[in-house]
Amino acid sequence: MKKYLLLTVAIVLSGVLKAQTENSKDNVLQDTVKVLTKKDKQVAEKKYNEGVILYQSNKFDEAISKFDEAITVKAKFPEAFYNRASAKFGKKDYLGAIQDFNYAIILNPIPKYYLSRGLARYNYKEFDGALSDFAISIEKDSGDYRTKAYYYQGCVYFEKESYDLAIKSYSNAIESDASYAFAYHDRGSTYRKMEKYQLSLSDYRKAIQLSPKMAIAFNNMGSVKKLLKDYQGAITDYSSAINLDSNYAVAYNNRATVYKEMGDFKNAMFDFSKAISINPSYAIAYSNRANLKFQKKDYENALKDYDRALELDPDFGYGFLNRGICKEMLRDNDGACQDWSKANSLGVSVAGEYLNIQCN
């Protein structure tokens, strides 16, 4: 009887890989032909279990070292390859994870291993490979792995902006498991991209019904209501998200944008500042607070926030556009023209109009 533990890859969501695949079985395993003694197996399993404990403490490098030792003793050890892959995944070494999942699949081609390799490929942006692995998981399994494979298949299609296919995959996941809250949530986000707002709201509500503490669902439902100009409804939903997660910087930022639309500048300023205090690297929040200060004609302080936003995100085209307008109000015409030129180079077409009118 096996006495060692088995982990599952923990997931928070194309290129040509050079990693070895299932077809390279002979090359991968050519040096593994030896008779293992009972002591060898005990040593391998001991090192493996030590690796599991280290992995569970997020000590990924140390875990990988233990799995290395286990594999050195017992080369045909699919669980060790799988969990070494999991540790590499935890380090965001997705290519290394893919390589180890390959070895695990060669030794034991089970649905969970294909699903996990698909997730690594998804994070590595090798979307076609990910879809292939998810399809195999769906074909091989009729339970939880099949449901998850449908769900992550939907995530890939969402990334590829193939929204109809994403809807189909999320719906398959829901048909497989009607209690899968995140499938409803992500299908709602897909409907939102398709501007099918009532369907989006319906799915967000279902996700919340299944998982009442899902702060992100309240946040995203608020964003749909903002698009529908249901500002009070949006405020209520963003507030619910914040009540569930007091450090939810995005929800504070989003609620602030609604307060600003409603002309409640005091609460808007508070929420933008709160978002920044939670996440000092939140470029959009700095830019939004700058816009509010500009609207209040506090140009000097607006400029400071624009500077910080662009320091954090040097490719933020609209940040350069707006900072240019702010500099123009401060009579820094050369600086304004430089910012509009930069915004134009980043694809903000309206910046070109400012250049033509103000800078020639």
Which CATH number fits the domain that encloses residue 141? Answer: 1.25.40.10
Q: Which of 96, 143, 76 is nearest to 115 (CA)?
A: 143
Q: What is the dihedral of CA 227, 187, 275, 229, to 10 degrees?
A: 10
Mean pLDDT lowest among 36-45, 86-95, 308-317 = 36-45
- Residue 248 domain flag: no
Same domain for 137 and 64, yes or no, is no
Q: Look up the CATH number of the domain holding residue 53.
A: 1.25.40
Question: How far is it, in rounded angstroms, from Cα 99 to Cα 97?
Answer: 5
- HSE (CB half, 13 Å, CA atoms) of 157? 24
Question: How far is it, in rounded angstroms, from Cα 19 to Cα 177?
Answer: 34
Q: Which of 258, 266, 273 is nearest to 308 (CA)?
A: 273
State yes or no: pLDDT of 14 exceeds 90. Answer: no
Q: 318-354 as b/e, with b when 16 or more CB fall inside 10 Å?
A: bbbbbbbbbbbeeeeeebbbbbbbbbbebebeebeeb
- Residue 76 domain flag: yes
Non-local (6+) Cβ contacts of 25 within 8 A are 106
Segment 196-206 mean pLDDT = 98
pLDDT at 28: 39
Q: What is the dihedral of CA 261, 263, 264, 268, to 10 degrees?
A: 40
E strand or H helix that includes residue 176: helix 163-176
Question: How far is it, in rounded angstroms, from Cα 200 to Cα 188?
Answer: 4
Give the number of domains in the chain: 2
- Only one residue has tokens 């450090």, namely 247
Non-local (6+) Cβ contacts of 29 within 8 A are 75, 76, 106, 107
Position 37 confidence tier, pLDDT thresholds 50, 70, 90: confident
Same domain for 205 and 177, yes or no, is yes
Same domain for 208 and 113, yes or no, is yes
pLDDT at 35: 57
Mean pLDDT lowest among 13-27, 34-48, 173-187 = 13-27
- Residue 291 domain flag: no
- Residue 290 domain flag: no
Residue 197's CB is within 10 A of a number of other CB atoms, namely 15
Domain range for 129:
109-212
pTM for the whole structure: 0.85
- Residue 203 domain flag: yes
Q: Which of 114, 122, 50 is nearest to 87 (CA)?
A: 50
Segment 129-158 mean pLDDT = 96
